Amino acid sequence: MRRTTVLRAAVSAGLLISVATLGLTQAAADEAPLSPASASREPASSALITAMQHDLGLTKQQATVRLADETAARGVERTARRAAGTSYGGSWFDAKSGRIVVALTGAGPREAVEATGARVTRVKHSQRQLDATMARIDALDAPAGVGSWHVDPKSSSVVINVVSTHRNDNDVRDFVTRARASGPVSVQQTDKAPSTLAAGTVGGDPYYTGNVRCSIGFSVYGGFVTAGHCGRPSAGVSGWDGSYIGNFQGSSFPDNDYAWVNVGSGWWTVPVVLGWGTVSDQLVRGSGEAPIGASICRSGSTSHWHCGNVLAKNETVNYSQGAVHQMTKTSVCAEPGDSGGSFISGDQAQGVTSGGWGNCSSGGETWYQPVNEILNRYGLTLHTA
């Protein structure tokens, strides 16, 4: 197979669900740290800086500084969390100060946490308490008028997103009442409900299973990871040029939204995410998890390359097919045909596109399934540069 074919297929990205959900797992919180070599590199290519200027409204200097701050913040977040111990109430990246903010309960060790370079704020509830509340709400049956819910360290609560047109429905009110009995809860309204939306077979740089089009997320040794709703185990996969790639070796949806496909028949893997001409193709050098508030970009076979911010983690999204847990929510837009595609922050792999609402003309939100959970679940190794 021609090298151009392999490169295009091995790093294509796509979204099967334009109005769907994504996932983050608690297991992803303790991903492998950045290597010293990675931490000392330039944070991004000039083309990526240009994309962040366009999508995030930053100057060139602001984008460069922000990426450097976010790279440093990933390491601080891990150290600060250990220092906080049982008083840890969550954390997020503050773009204005360029620092990680760590929430502490009670008389938690403020000085020890600040010594790591983090800012500290006091909250009522620990991460453990919020996670327990989240688990109890996950056990409830949610009506269609409830879009999603997630742990929010800033408000020290579990935020429930209710579709505005259904806020007065009896079943929605009943769900919120039962959720409040589970622990600290806040309620917000959203204009759109999450839903799945598969794309038909069209041209471009996707992969196909049956008449469904999706996209490659990240190369792993032996194959690639993608979204679970794109195919069931043993389903055959063909590339953008119609040639056979391999088969789904594992897949989970709903509850999760992840899968992996083996690669053979003249195809091979490369540690690259397509920039679609908007930016240069991006090398993948690790999977250090970006904090809430960090910048993030997405590559997909329909809408190509777009950037935004991490809005929330540990969000449960209420699909019509069933709830998907531990997703990460972003302000990045997506469209049908982008499912399974790559979410990347700097040169660090973040996750595979699951779904969202809106589009890339008027805007919207998109969720992803964190890549470290997928790697851990199937015992895979990310292919890095």
What does the pLDDT read at residue 205?
Answer: 65
CB 120 within 8 A of CB 106: no
Please tell me whether residues 186 and 198 are part of one structural domain.
no
Q: What is the mean pLDDT of residues 284-312?
A: 96
What does the pLDDT read at residue 39?
Answer: 40
Task: For residue 67, tell me if it sits in a domain.
Answer: no
Say whether 229 is catalytic.
Answer: yes
Please tell me whether residues 258 and 360 are part of one structural domain.
yes
Q: Which of 125, 229, 306, 325 is catalytic?
A: 229
Please tell me whether residues 175 and 200 are part of one structural domain.
no
Please tell me whether residues 355 and 382 are part of one structural domain.
yes
Q: Is the pLDDT assigned to residue 34 strictly greater than 50?
A: no
Selected residue with higher pLDDT from 87 and 270? 87
Please tell me whether residues 243 and 277 are part of one structural domain.
yes
Residue 298, domain CATH: 2.40.10.10
- What pLDDT, in 10s, does the model give residues 210-221? 889 999 999 999
Residue 139, domain CATH: 3.30.300.50
Of 294, 263, 222, the closest CA to residue 76 belongs to: 294
- What percent of the chain stands above pLDDT 70? 85
Please tell me whether residues 176 and 31 are part of one structural domain.
no
Of the chain, the end-to-end C-alpha distance in Å amounts to: 22
Selected residue with higher pLDDT from 330 and 200? 330
Name the band, by pLDDT with cuts 50, 70 and 90, for residue 265: confident
Distance of alpha carbon 353 from alpha carbon 65, whole angstroms: 27
What does the pLDDT read at residue 44?
Answer: 60
Task: For residue 234, tell me if it sits in a domain.
Answer: yes
Please tell me whether residues 162 and 304 are part of one structural domain.
no
Q: Which of 157, 251, 301, 339 is catalytic?
A: 339
Q: What is the mean pLDDT of residues 11-34?
A: 35
- What pLDDT, in 10s, does the model give residues 38-76? 444 555 667 788 888 988 999 999 999 999 999 999 999
Please tell me whether residues 183 and 205 are part of one structural domain.
no
Task: For residue 66, tell me if it sits in a domain.
Answer: no
Least confident of 156-160, 179-183, 243-247: 243-247
Say whether 255 is catalytic.
Answer: no
Task: Output the DSSP codes for 69-136.
Answer: HHHHHHHHHHHHHHHHGGGEEEEEEETTTTEEEEEEETT--HHHHHTTT-EEEEESS-HHHHHHHHHH
Which of 80-94, 159-173, 210-224, 240-254 has the highest mean predicted lDDT (pLDDT)? 80-94
Task: For residue 330, tell me if it sits in a domain.
Answer: yes
What does the pLDDT read at residue 352?
Answer: 96
Task: For residue 123, tell me if it sits in a domain.
Answer: no
Q: What is the mean pLDDT of residues 124-151?
A: 96
Name the band, by pLDDT with cuts 50, 70 and 90, for residue 383: very high
Q: Which of 152, 205, 257, 347 is catalytic?
A: 257
Which of 186-190, 195-199, 311-315 has the highest mean predicted lDDT (pLDDT)? 311-315
Residue where a domain terminates, one of 141, 162, 190: 190
Angle between helices 46-56 and 60-84 (to 10 degrees): 90
Task: For residue 92, tell me if it sits in a domain.
Answer: no
Facing residues of 91 across strands?
102
Please tell me whether residues 336 and 208 are part of one structural domain.
yes
Question: Nearest 5°: phi and psi at 97?
Answer: -90, -15
Please tell me whether residues 202 and 183 are part of one structural domain.
no
Please tell me whether residues 51 and 25 are part of one structural domain.
yes
CB 9 within 8 A of CB 223: no
Say whether 339 is catalytic.
Answer: yes
What does the pLDDT read at residue 275?
Answer: 87
Name the band, by pLDDT with cuts 50, 70 and 90, for residue 195: low
Name the residue range of residue 136's domain. Answer: 128-190
Tokens of 311: 């809005």
Please tell me whether residues 253 and 373 are part of one structural domain.
yes
Residue where a domain terminates, one of 190, 218, 241: 190
Q: Is the pLDDT assigned to residue 347 strictly greater than 60?
A: yes
Q: Is the pLDDT assigned to residue 247 strictly greater than 70?
A: yes
Opening angle at CA 119, ends 114 and 122, nearest 5: 100
Task: For residue 233, tell me if it sits in a domain.
Answer: yes
Task: For residue 65, tell me if it sits in a domain.
Answer: no
State how many domains the chain has.
Answer: 2
Residue where a domain terminates, one of 139, 169, 190: 190
